[in-house]
Amino acid sequence: MRTSRPRILKIVILGESGVGKTSLMDRYVCNEFSQQYKATIGADFYTKDVIIDDKPVGLQIWDTAGQERYQSLGSAFYRGADACVLVYDMTDARSFDALDSWRDEFLISAAPRDPDSFPFVVMGNKVDVIDRARAVPTKKAQDWCYSKGTNVIPLFETSAMDDINVEAAFDAVARSGLRRGEQDEDFIPRDTVEINRKPVDEQCAC
């Protein structure tokens, strides 16, 4: 199904407090990074127009608050989403463990028609941090991405500060959202898992 009007995609960014959701958004939408983000309360709304495969696409991005108790507010922000970004902090194992609950909560609140194949993208942020130990090995994140739903969830290790992989990750989000809209498109086969990382890491399995 192809139309001349730009497709509008609603994207929701979820994850623990302080993992860098707002900074990823700021990097992607404004190409900026600041050390001084205010804590997000409720949700902030941003838009970005992109061209994907020569087609204009309008992204409506919802940057949400990360504190766990805010999950119960979610439904209003999650409803009608076309894709969901799950963010964790690579230096904080707990933020990675929380992905399960964020994903489940999203699927309950948003109640998409295709919960098993709904497009998620996982971003492991703060890949630039060198003074703290890395708490989530790539392999662990990769395994998680393999184990959820019928499709493999694309995984990106990103840095909003150093602008690593942010554009590529959101590009994947937009594509997966578009793909969901196109009914004649096949599901992503299992062998196309994307582990896009610029910095070399000895633990990297790819």
Partner 1 sequence: MDVTYGETQRIWELSDSTDSDLDNPHPLVPEASVRTLSPQDEPSQSPGTSAASHPGLSLDALSIGTSSAQTPDSAPESETDSASCGSSSGGIFATFTREEDECDHQQYHEEDCPENARRQTHPSASCGDLPSSDSASSPRTRNSSSSQAMLKSLRNSWKKVKKTGVKSTTSATKSLSTLSSTYFNATRSDAATRETWEERHSRMGDEWLTSIIPNWSKKKKTARVRTLVFRGIPANVRGRAWQCAIGNPLNVSEQLFEVLKERAYSGRMEYIRGRETVAMADGDVGGDGGKAETLLESERSAHKAIMLDLPRTFPELTFFHAEGSHYEYALRDVLEAFLYLKPDVGYSQGMSFLAAVLLLYMDPYEAFCSFANMLLHKSCFLHFFRIKMPEVRFYLTVHDRLLSEEMPALHAHFKQHGIDSDLYMINWVMSLYCRALPLDLVTRIWDVYVLDGDVAIFRAALGILRFFMPRLMKMKFEDMAYFLSHIPAEDLPADELLQSVRAVRVVTKKRFRDLFKECGSVYNKASEK
Which distant-in-sequence residues (6+ apart) come within 8 Å of 125 by Cβ? 19, 20, 23, 24, 87, 88, 89, 90, 158, 159, 160
Q: Does 195 bind partner 1 (CB under 8 A)?
A: no
In angstroms, the CA 159 to CA 99 distance is 18
Taking CB under 8 A as the criterion, which residues in 111-150 touch partner 1?
133, 135
Size (the chain), residues: 206
| 101 interacts with partner 1 by CB under 8 A | no
Per CB under 8 A, the list member of 4, 35, 183, 192 interacting with partner 1 is 35
Q: For partner 1, which stretch binds (CB under 8 A), given 72-80, 119-127, 140-148, 179-187?
A: 72-80
Q: Does residue 44 touch partner 1 according to CB under 8 A? A: yes
Q: Quick check: 202 binds partner 1 (CB under 8 A)?
A: no
With binding defined as CB under 8 A, does residue 5 bind partner 1? no
58 binds partner 1 (CB under 8 A): yes
> Does the protein bind partner 1 through residue 46 (CB under 8 A)?
yes
Interface pick for partner 1 out of 11, 13, 43, 161 (rule CB under 8 A): 43
| CB-CB contact of 119 with 84 (8 Å) | yes
Identify which of residues 45 and 113 has a Cβ nearer to partner 1 in the complex.
45
Cβ contacts of 75-80, under 8 Å, gap ≥ 24: 75/109, 75/110, 77/12, 77/43, 78/12, 78/106, 78/109, 78/110, 79/109, 79/110, 80/10, 80/110
108 lines the binding site for partner 1 (CB under 8 A):
no
Q: Given the rule CB under 8 A, which residues bind partner 1?
A: 17-18, 34-47, 58, 60, 65-70, 72-73, 76-77, 93, 133, 135
